[in-house]
Structure 1
Amino acid sequence: MSVTLTEMISEFSLKLMLLIQTVRIILYSLIFLVSVLGNSLIIAVLVRNRRMRTVTNLFLLSLAASDLMLCLFCMPFTLIPNLMRDFVFGSGICKVAMYFMGISVSVSTFNLVAISLERYSAICNPLASRTWQTKSHAATVISATWVVSFLFMLPYPISSTLVPFTRVNNSTGNMCRLVWPSDVIQQSWYVSLLLLLFLVPGIMMMTAYGLISLELYRGITFEMRQCSTGSIKPGDNDGCYLQPAKKKKGELAHLQNSPATPSPNVTINSRDNVGSNKSKLSRVCSNSSTCNLMAKKRVIRMLLVIVCLFFLCWTPVFAVNAWRAFDRRSADKLLSGAPISFIHLLSYTSACVNPIIYCFMNKRFRQGILSTFTCCSSPKAGGVGRGAGSRMGTGRGGGRGGTRSGEENGHTPQSGNNTMSKWSCSTTPPHTVQ
């Protein structure tokens, strides 16, 4: 009876291991494909469409490149050795893969912080940001993030090596690991990563997006108060809020400039005419205010999603790295195999959700994608593509009193519908795999 029970337990364990392995392969493959396709599409669109190379989109281009690097150098070299219980790619690939893993994580983090600061400045300090938010400044910041990341992650290729181990069946396998001169150096390295690539960037993003949400909430309160008193006027904003749509502004101007007295050829009572104009004006203002409030609420929700996803994706892997630095034996005992594989998968998910949050949820970016890949089919489509690309440009033309487009000055929008469109789209940062 005991033998039968043992066989049943062994068979159940084997089936469970096969199920977990199948689920891992499916999830890794799905996230890998979505990440590669999404980030490659973003890169192709921004490279082919010159009109979309605005300040914000330059940061998104760098983010897409780092996320693509994260997929190509992290996922295959994490899943395959984990399934085979052996790193079969050799010592050279071990060093290169570890190096580019760290670089991609570092660049992604710095880009996300730069995007949050750029958005805060463009939305809440639009006038001050005009002097420095240019394409050349964005290119300088992006170049600096890549150079700093390449230098900061040099310990990876230096310390990475193949470590042999004995399997259960007495065969020998290899692991790609970081071998440090001492435990103090290892602990100092992982604590610095935890601070520089997770805690500090996370706090900066929370602060920037929190201030933006507070500014938008004040705008919501202001507009609701104006609506309740009936004193709202088109264009009542401080540069951080939505402007009424162009069509509505034209309609408002027409209604406001309409004569109060009828012409000799008109037989309508002037009092009825004025009352009708006021009624139309009230409806237009009400509709515009409602749209503004809904857009700002969507922006606040999106900002919360960005911050939550940042911590959801990266907290486990940074916590595990710090744990392994101070107590490697217990961490390897409890997390080896499927647990660490799923923790890494959660961090790789950031490369999958970044294109969705920051780009594909933006209606104008979707228009830019369609225009980019349809402009070669017909002249008419090409014309549409140019127009969509121009509208997609996160220019400051929507700002108060602004008349120049984003392509002319390289700025991102400070206010207006363009700003809300950018915010209707919506982190990620780093991690180090061992």
Structure 2
Amino acid sequence: MDNSSLEWSGDGNASLRTELQSCATLRNQVSRIFLYAFLSAGIVSTVVGNFLVVLSIAYFKQLQSPTNSFILSLAVADCLVGLLVMPYSMIRTVEGCWYFGFLFCKLHSSLDVMLCTASIFHLSCIAFDRYYAVCNPLVYSLKMSPGRVALLIAVCWAVPMLISFAPIMLNLHIADTDIQIPEDVCLFLVSRIYAVMASLVAFYLPMAVMLVAYWKIFKAAKRQAKQISAMESQMAAGVGKDSSKKKIHRNTMKREGKAAKTLGIIMGVFLIFWMPFFTVNIVDPFIEYSTEVVVWDVFLWLGYINSSLNPFLYVFFNSCFRRAFLMFIGCKVCLPGISPGMELSHSRKERKKQICHNSQLSESYSPSV
């Protein structure tokens, strides 16, 4: 989502009007080059990383599961953020001007709100899906049937579209505000009502879903780790190993630590990168839009960075995705033995044996010349 601010009172009013009318960047050439390079790297990372997620799930059958359907749709939303939103936001941030017209400014703002909100909605659906998979595995296939997964994905796109395009294109988001903005400046100002309602729907409600789901997942993982340790203790007692208790305790701590680390990273990154923006988004209309523009730019790009980190958070924790990524990056998908139905969970040695075995089979059944 993009936003900016206006200091619309006292002496700041005159200085701001002068700045808006001149629409001239205050950055020197060196800082502009650095910002273009840095932000362009973030854009490329966002597009490439999420595109690899889409390719991996679309190509390998093992990755086509209900959870990965959410990840696929999430990757599409984040990839569109990198393609349709971030490049124009980069030019506006670096140059300080908007060169694409008033109508495209509204369209860009609508896409920004919709795609970023869709990304956050998908994150909450993934947490919801993992909650049923870990805490209620017996009813998981019933609760997460293909029809319900498709319905949840449709909601993840429909609700963000309703709170973005309709209010922004009809100027409902600036109701009861009396601020005139030049056409060569693209500022996304919102009224108090829209700021509160949109922030609640787009961030705070999904955040609550994620917090509750991941907290219950952590408790379930901790309970399962203790149950596994108890079973291992009984088995070790039958064998009669003296050091079994210490080993089992270490394994238990390792399992609990891994679960806490994974969930902590996921929630921590989400909160760190989106909480500042949505907090200021609600506060700013109540303090007469006095937040500095540079603050908005920093918080805005923190939210964008979350879209580039999602492939790493939700994919690189999975060894199957890592192997799929490496195959696409190394152009190995065209090699003999690499097929959409191959087993990605095999180790590297097992996979080499499988490829060698497949090639031997193909040679043995190939007709002799």
Partner of 1:101: 112
Give the whole-Å Cα distance in 1 for the aligned partners of 2:120 and 2:295: 24
2:68 matched to 1:57? Answer: yes
- 1:157 matched to 2:169? The reply is yes
List runs of 5+ in structure 1 lacking aligned partners.
1-13, 166-172, 181-185, 235-276, 393-434
121 and 329 in structure 1: CA distance in 2 versus 1, 3 angstrom threshold: closer
- Contact 1:163/1:176 (CA < 8 Å) preserved in 2? no
1:231 matches 2:220: no
1:380 matches 2:337: yes
Cα distance in 2 for partners of 1:111, 1:376 equals 29
Deviations 1:369-408 (A, max 9, x none): 34567564332233xx53335879xxxxxxxxxxxxxxxx
Matched, 1:342 2:298: yes
Q: Give 3-state SS (helix, strand or coil) of 1:118's partner.
A: helix
- Report the counterpart of residue 308 of structure 1 in structure 2: 268
Q: Give the one of 315, 320, 329 matched to 1:364.
A: 320
1:23 Cα deviation after fit: 4.4
Determine which of 270, 274, 278 is the counterpart of 2:239. 278
Cα separation, partners in 2 of 1:196 and 1:363, compared to 1, 3 Å: same
SS at match of 2:98: coil
1:195 offset after TM fit, Å?
A: 1.4
Q: How does 1:30-429 map to 2 (within 5 A)?
A: 30-153=41-164, 154-159=166-171, 164-165=181-182, 174-178=184-188, 186-224=191-229, 230-232=233-235, 278=239, 294-331=254-291, 335-336=292-293, 338-371=294-327, 376-382=333-339, 386-389=341-344
Q: Structure 1 residues 155, 282: closer, same or farther in 2, change over 3 A? A: farther
Q: Secondary structure at the match of 2:184?
A: strand
Residues 87 and 175, structure 1, Cα contact 8 Å, conserved in 2 = yes
Structure index of larger Rg: 1
| Change over 3 Å in CA distance of 1:390–1:92 after alignment to 2 | farther
Q: Is the 8 A contact 1:69 1:100 kept in 2?
A: no
Distance 2:48 2:197 in 1: 33
1:257 corresponds to which residue? none
Listed as ranges, the gaps of 5+ residues in structure 2 are 1-24, 348-369
In the other structure, the counterpart of 1:11 is: none
Q: Secondary structure at the match of 2:187?
A: strand
Q: Distance in 2 between matches of 1:129 and 1:376?
A: 32
When residues 24 and 322 of structure 1 are mapped into structure 2, their CA distance, relative to the original with a 3 A threshold, is farther
8 A Cα contact 2:226 2:252, kept in partner? no
Cα distance 1:390–1:16, how it changes in 2: closer, same or farther (>3 A)? Answer: closer
Shift of 1:115: 0.5
Match of 1:89, SS state, is coil
Structure 1 residue 294, shift from structure 2 partner: 2.5
1:26 aligns with 2:37: yes
Per the normalisation by structure 2, the TM-score is 0.75
Q: Structure 2: how far apart are the matches of 1:364 and 1:292? A: 24
- Aligned equivalents of 2:62 and 2:231: distance in 1? 38
SS in 1 for 2:170: helix
Could you tell me the percent identity over the aligned residues? Answer: 22
Deviation per residue, 1:253-290 (Å, 9 max, x gap): xxxxxxxxxxxxxxxxxxxxxxxx936x9999997886
Distance apart, 1:72 and its partner CA? 2.3
Give distance in 1, aligned partners of 2:334 and 2:246.
42
- Secondary structure at the aligned position of 2:186 is classed as strand
Task: Give the superposition deviation at 1:78.
Answer: 1.8
Q: Secondary structure at the match of 2:290?
A: helix
TM-aligned CA deviation for residue 22 of structure 1? 4.5
> Under a length normalisation based on structure 1, what TM-score does the superposition of the two structures give?
0.64
CA contact (8 A) 2:77 2:115 kept: yes
Shift of 1:224: 4.5
C-alpha separation in 2, matches of 1:282 and 1:134: 47
Give, in angstroms, the shift of residue 218 of structure 1: 2.3
CA gap of 1:58–1:85, structure 2 versus 1, over 3 A, is same
On the 8 A contact 2:60/2:342 being kept in 1, the answer is: no
* RMSD after superposition: 3.4
- Contact between 2:97 and 2:184, CA under 8 Å: does it hold in 1? yes
Q: How many residues in Structure 1 have an aligned counterpart in Structure 2?
A: 316
d(CA) in 2 for partners of 1:282, 1:148: 59
Deviation at 1:146, TM superposition (A): 1.2
